[in-house]
């Protein structure tokens, strides 16, 4: 793989950060605020849209930032956000990013909303894991969109642009870890990103991990709150080692899938105690990528959503094949990396030379990508971390959001997050709650029923 020295990497990262940046408005910035996420765009001609304005001249972003309080942030406290760019009517947007009940750790979730007028919007959710997971999710949230919009093919071939962006961001993670800017050896992040092309009204979805994206499909005639006609369609499939195809890929790449004796199958390098992940694909997690088959290179598929064509994809009818977990803890073999140790937290070999990891064969870092043509029945999309999906199904999430009209999107997002929190507290008897992130985007204007672009 390509190796950059520290100075070359710092220059590359600075170029990405400074790429046609739009300064924050004074009322939105503080001396401590990071560079706002406003990026360069490939501009179409204004004739493409029939308006006199130059497309792409107005840009807007909302993104999370790491809480100053870190682990001392109160449980269920909202994560700090940064708003940058021009003013937009954001009534169709809802978001909630809540710290879990984990006193020893900061909120490791991150999220992103970018809107470039008349060109495209980008939505992303990133769920960190591992000791430095908050740093990795924040790093991916900051860098991947900048790498994405720098792709020459972002408008002509968004799928290729997304694949390139995931691969190049993983390379940046490798290099940044090698020189000590971050530590992604045993920490990583999910990454679910959607490009909404405003001209063609198509969603391009790319993801690794289990931060699921779900389409809310409603009655096409009018908004009917709480109607039983609402349907959920999963736009992503959780990347879990319990999936037979994922397990086969991991084992062929030199990794092992082991049941942890509780609820999850986990991925390990053969004969090693790392990485111990309960997902099969992620950004970062360098030891897992190089030695255990953790990857971000699944089969690319294209799915077109048409009027009346949602039934086959409805989650009420969809069944997913997985490996059934044993009903009781299995007998561990002598080859089991956990055989003589009850601790189920993977041990990191501190003497691993990150500069040498680049010389180890590893899978390519491309995301699962699909495209979706929006129809009049497609009302909103949800991007959520697994803090939501652990105890709430896709269909129930859509049902909860459907009770609120689009102009109450923030209230809908808060309600969904609060419902998930209550489920966690009930299940764990108040002992643990994961970080919870909801990103909600409505497509239809409530007054005109036209697609918001």
Residue 312 clears pLDDT 60, i.e. is over it: no
Percent of the chain with pLDDT over 90: 52
Q: What number is the average pLDDT over the span 310-339?
A: 38
Residue 432 clears pLDDT 90, i.e. is over it: yes
pLDDT of residue 80: 96
pLDDT of residue 32: 35
Residue 306 clears pLDDT 90, i.e. is over it: no
Residue 74 clears pLDDT 50, i.e. is over it: yes
**At a CB cut-off of 8 Å and minimum separation 6, what does 262 contact?**
329, 344
Q: What number is the average pLDDT over the span 399-422?
A: 96
Distance CA 234, CA 210 (A): 12
Tokens (6 digits) for 57:
């001249």
Q: 241 vs 88, which has greater pLDDT?
A: 241
Residue 382 clears pLDDT 80, i.e. is over it: yes
Q: Is the pTM of this model over 0.75?
A: yes
Q: Are 114 and 164 in contact (CB under 8 A)?
A: no
pLDDT of residue 50: 41
12-16, 150-154, 174-178: segment of lowest average pLDDT: 12-16
Q: What number is the average pLDDT over the span 128-141?
A: 97
Over residues 141-163, the pLDDT tens digits come to 999 999 999 999 988 898 899 99
Q: What number is the average pLDDT over the span 404-426?
A: 97
Q: Are 289 and 216 in contact (CB under 8 A)?
A: no
Residue 383 clears pLDDT 70, i.e. is over it: yes
pLDDT of residue 198: 87
Q: Average pLDDT of the chain?
A: 77
Please report which confidence band the pLDDT of residue 360 belongs to, taking 50, 70 and 90 as the band edges: very low
Please report which confidence band the pLDDT of residue 31 belongs to, taking 50, 70 and 90 as the band edges: very low
Residue 390 clears pLDDT 90, i.e. is over it: yes
Residue 446 clears pLDDT 70, i.e. is over it: no
Over residues 252-301, the pLDDT tens digits come to 988 999 998 888 899 999 888 889 999 999 999 999 989 888 875 533 34
Sorted by where each begins, the domain ranges of the chain are 6-239+299-320+367-442
Nearest to 226 by CA among 360, 398, 54: 398
Residue 412 clears pLDDT 80, i.e. is over it: yes
Q: Which long-range contacts (CB under 8 A, 24 or more apart) does 131-134 make?
A: 131/183, 131/186, 131/187, 132/182, 132/183, 132/184, 132/187, 133/108, 133/187, 133/188, 133/189, 134/66, 134/105, 134/106, 134/107, 134/108, 134/110
Residue 14 clears pLDDT 70, i.e. is over it: no
Please report which confidence band the pLDDT of residue 57 belongs to, taking 50, 70 and 90 as the band edges: low
Residue 327 clears pLDDT 80, i.e. is over it: no
Highest mean pLDDT among 86-100, 214-228, 284-298: 86-100
53-57, 66-70, 196-200: segment of lowest average pLDDT: 53-57
**At a CB cut-off of 8 Å and minimum separation 6, what does 210 contact?**
127, 190, 238, 239, 240, 279, 386, 389
Q: Which fold has domain 6-239+299-320+367-442?
A: Phosphatase 2c; domain 1 (3.60.40)
Please report which confidence band the pLDDT of residue 53 belongs to, taking 50, 70 and 90 as the band edges: low
Bridge partners of residue 384, in order along the sequence = 438
Bridge partners of residue 255, in order along the sequence = 269
Q: 123 vs 90, which has greater pLDDT?
A: 123
Q: What number is the average pLDDT over the span 91-107?
A: 95
């Amino acid at each position: 793989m390509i190796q950059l020295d520290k100075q070359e990497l710092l220059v590359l990262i600075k170029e990405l950060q400074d790429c046609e940046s739009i300064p924050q408005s004074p009322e939105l910035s503080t001396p401590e605020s990071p560079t706002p996420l406003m990026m360069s765009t490939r501009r179409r001609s204004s004739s493409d849209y029939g308006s006199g304005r130059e497309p792409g001249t107005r840009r807007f972003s909302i993104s999370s930032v790491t809480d100053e309080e870190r682990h001392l942030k109160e449980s269920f406290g909202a994560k700090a956000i940064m708003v940058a760019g021009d003013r937009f009517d954001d009534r169709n947007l809802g978001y909630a990013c809540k710290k879990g009940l984990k006193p020893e750790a900061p909120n490791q979730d991150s999220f992103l909303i970018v809107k470039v007028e008349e060109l495209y919007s980008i939505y992303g959710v990133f769920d960190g894991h591992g000791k430095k997971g908050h740093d990795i999710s924040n790093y991916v949230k900051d860098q991947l969109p900048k790498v994405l919009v720098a792709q020459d093919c972002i408008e002509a071939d968004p799928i290729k642009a997304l694949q390139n962006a995931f691969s190049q961001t993983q390379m940046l993670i490798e290099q940044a870890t090698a020189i000590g800017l971050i530590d992604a050896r045993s920490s990583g992040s999910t990454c679910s990103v959607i490009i909404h092309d405003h001209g063609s009204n198509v969603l391009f979805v790319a993801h690794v991990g289990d931060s699921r994206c779900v389409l809310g499909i409603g009655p096409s005639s009018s908004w009917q709150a709480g109607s039983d006609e609402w349907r959920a369609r999963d736009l992503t499939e959780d990347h879990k080692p319990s999936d037979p195809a994922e397990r086969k890929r991991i084992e062929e790449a030199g990794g092992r899938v082991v049941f942890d004796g509780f609820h999850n199958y986990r991925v390990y390098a053969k004969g090693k105690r790392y990485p111990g992940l309960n997902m099969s694909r992620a950004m970062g997690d360098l030891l897992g990528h190089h030695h255990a088959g953790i990857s971000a290179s699944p089969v690319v598929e294209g799915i077109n959503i048409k009027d009346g064509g949602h039934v086959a994809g409805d989650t009420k009818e969809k069944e997913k094949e997985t490996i059934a977990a044993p009903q009781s803890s299995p007998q561990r073999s002598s080859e089991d990396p956990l055989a003589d140790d009850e601790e189920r937290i993977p041990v990191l070999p501190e003497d691993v030379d990150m500069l040498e990891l680049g010389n180890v064969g590893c899978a390519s870092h491309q995301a699962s990508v699909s495209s979706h043509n929006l129809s009049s029945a497609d009302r909103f999309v949800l991007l959520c971390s697994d803090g939501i999906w652990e105890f709430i199904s896709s269909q129930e999430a859509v049902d909860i959001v459907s009770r609120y009209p689009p102009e109450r999107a923030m209230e809908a997002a808060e309600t969904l997050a609060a419902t998930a929190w209550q489920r966690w507290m009930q299940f764990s008897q108040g002992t643990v709650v994961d970080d919870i992130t909801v990103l909600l985007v409505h497509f239809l204007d409530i007054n005109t029923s036209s697609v918001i672009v």
